[in-house]
């Protein structure tokens, strides 16, 4: 028989706040984390805004020497993991560290390190490339560092499925706990790609918002004037725990994870499948996996990137699955506030779903003034809404046609 899986700890480093409470309060207040790019000179690029993490000091969570040997994406992940364990009130000496795993998603990895060392190679020669280049850059090292920092000896893996990475990672973690292979898993995602090369690449694709004159309003999912996504950065880490293990130690349960579904569009390197067909199948699989009927869903945290095709096709996919009920479901894109955290997006958005369930309030989609063509559902425009949330789903879709959905519900005996 499958074990039940609950969420008992949350840690986050985000453009709208560091720590669960700061993050959640900012979202409920409808605050935007977007501003002019400060990490490099973006004046020559068509997009000059991003959702950067503010006031992050790695030495609050790491020894200075350790921090210097980690890329920013790994620093974020370690910090968020330590917050999640603290939030979950974990006493490490009382748990079996061989039954605690780390399953993370990361779309790009150490882009800052990659760009720095590429400059070293071309300007100073191969003899000056750092011996830490590879272990700082590769995407799996965030999970590796978390395991090393915390002494966790269970499974340690990294999932790379573009913007669906963190949701797929959480899905894998869900299965491991469900099958009884782990008591607990730190899962989620991390990303730190606000760097010149990555930024220029997305600009060349014409994928990012060009609302440079008013940064706070640049991310506008489902709005008629949307012009693309706003790049964000950060990490979200959730503590997944087997129910009986959580109950035995009196843990606070934010929500229960009950379903997971993933599919492939098999269609195009960047564009969604027509009518959101692949996204619809992911939602259907997740609902079936959780034995949840479409009419039971209270809230959807949408992928909602602010690109023309994504928002329209996700709306179509929701209509396919929920039919007439679609217009009655509260839907929001918190990317309107956090920006798009790429491989970490699904982690902070599942966190939003869990907090919505725990607090019976859903955050808004800000900057939604006039819905775009075909975007005619209830996107909770501009103001948070009190709502009893029994069941919530979180959608993420990635370049390459990766679709992933998780279903969470209010915990009941």
Q: Is the pLDDT of residue 53 over 90?
A: yes
Q: What is the mean pLDDT of residues 187-214?
A: 97
Q: What is the pLDDT of residue 330?
A: 98
pLDDT tens, residue by residue, 78-92:
999 999 999 999 998
- Residue 93, helix vs strand vs coil: helix
Question: In the structure encoding, which two tokens stand for residue 59, read together?
Answer: 């030495």
**Could you give the domains of the chain?**
5-248 (3.40.47.10), 259-409 (3.40.47.10)
Q: Would you name the residues annotated as active-site residues?
A: 163
Question: What are the residues whose beta carbons fall under 8 Å from the beta carbon of 188, sequence distance 6 or more?
Answer: 77, 80, 104, 105, 166, 169, 170, 235, 236, 237, 238, 344, 347, 348, 350, 351
The answer to whether residue 6 scores a pLDDT higher than 90 is yes
Residue 350 to residue 354: CA distance in whole angstroms: 6
> Are 77 and 237 a contacting pair, CB within 8 Å?
yes
Residue 347 CB partners (closer than 8 Å, separation 6+): 105, 166, 167, 169, 170, 187, 188, 189, 190, 235, 236, 237, 238, 341
Do the Cβ atoms of 222 and 316 come closer than 8 Å?
no
* Residue 395 Cα to chain centre, angstroms: 10
Over residues 209-268, the pLDDT tens digits come to 999 999 999 999 999 999 999 999 999 999 999 999 999 999 999 999 999 999 999 999
Nearby residues of 118 by Cβ (< 8 Å), 6 or more positions away = none
Of the pLDDT bands very low, low, confident and very high (cuts 50, 70, 90), residue 52 is very high
Closest to 195 (Cα-Cα) out of 143, 236, 231: 231
Q: Above 90 in pLDDT, residue 387?
A: yes
pLDDT at 413 over 90: no
Backbone angles phi and psi of 399, in degrees to 5: -50, 140
How far, in Å, CA of 321 to CA of 316, rounded?
9
Q: Tell me the mean pLDDT in the region 125-141.
A: 97
Flag whether pLDDT at 1 surpasses 90. no
Q: Which pair of tokens denotes residue 208? A: 């990012």
**What is the average per-residue pLDDT within 394-402?**
96
Reported as a pLDDT band with limits 50, 70 and 90, residue 134 is very high
pLDDT per position as a tens digit, 64-82: 999 999 999 999 999 999 9
* pLDDT over 90 at 207, yes or no: yes
Q: Phi, psi (5° rounding) for residue 26?
A: -65, -40
So what's the pLDDT on residue 137?
A: 97
């Amino acid at each position: 028989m499958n074990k039940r899986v609950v969420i008992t700890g949350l840690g986050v480093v985000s453009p709208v706040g560091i720590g669960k409470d700061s993050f959640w309060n900012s979202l409920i207040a409808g605050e935007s984390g977007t501003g002019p790019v400060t990490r490099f000179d973006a004046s020559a690029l068509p997009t000059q805004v991003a959702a950067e993490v503010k006031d992050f000091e790695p030495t609050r969570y790491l020894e200075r020497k350790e921090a210097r040997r980690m890329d920013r994406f790994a620093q974020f992940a370690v910090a968020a993991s330590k917050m999640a364990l603290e939030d979950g009130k974990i006493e490490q000496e009382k748990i079996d560290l061989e039954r605690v795993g780390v399953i993370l998603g990361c779309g790009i990895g150490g882009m800052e390190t990659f760009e720095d060392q590429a400059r070293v190679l071309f300007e100073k020669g191969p003899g000056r490339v750092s011996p830490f280049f590879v272990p700082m850059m590769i995407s799996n090292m965030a999970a590796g560092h978390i395991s090393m920092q915390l002494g966790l000896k269970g499974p340690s893996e990294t999932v790379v499925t573009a913007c669906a990475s963190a949701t797929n990672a959480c899905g894998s973690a869900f299965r491991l706990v469900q099958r009884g292979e782990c008591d607990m898993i730190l899962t989620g995602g991390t990303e730190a790609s606000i760097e010149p090369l990555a930024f220029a690449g997305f600009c060349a694709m014409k994928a990012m918002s060009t609302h440079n004159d008013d940064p706070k309003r640049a991310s506008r999912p489902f709005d008629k004037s949307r012009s693309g996504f706003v790049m964000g950065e950060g990490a979200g880490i959730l503590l997944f725990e087997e129910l009986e293990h959580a109950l035995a130690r009196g843990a606070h349960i934010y929500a229960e994870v009950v379903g997971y579904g993933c599919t492939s569009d098999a269609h195009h390197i960047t564009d969604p499948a027509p009518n959101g067909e692949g996204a619809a199948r992911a939602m259907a699989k997740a609902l079936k996996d959780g034995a949840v009927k479409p009419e039971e869903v209270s809230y959807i945290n949408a992928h909602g990137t602010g690109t023309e095709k994504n928002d329209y096709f996700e709306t179509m996919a929701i209509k396919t699955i929920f039919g007439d009920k679609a217009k009655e479901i509260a839907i929001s894109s918190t990317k309107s506030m956090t920006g798009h955290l790429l491989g970490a997006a699904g982690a902070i958005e599942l966190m939003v779903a869990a907090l919505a369930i725990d607090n019976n309030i859903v955050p808004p989609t800000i900057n939604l003034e006039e819905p775009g063509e075909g975007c005619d559902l209830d996107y909770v425009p501009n103001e948070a809404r009190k709502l009893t949330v029994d069941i919530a789903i979180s959608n993420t879709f990635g370049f390459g046609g990766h679709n992933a959905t998780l279903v969470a519900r209010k915990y009941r005996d």
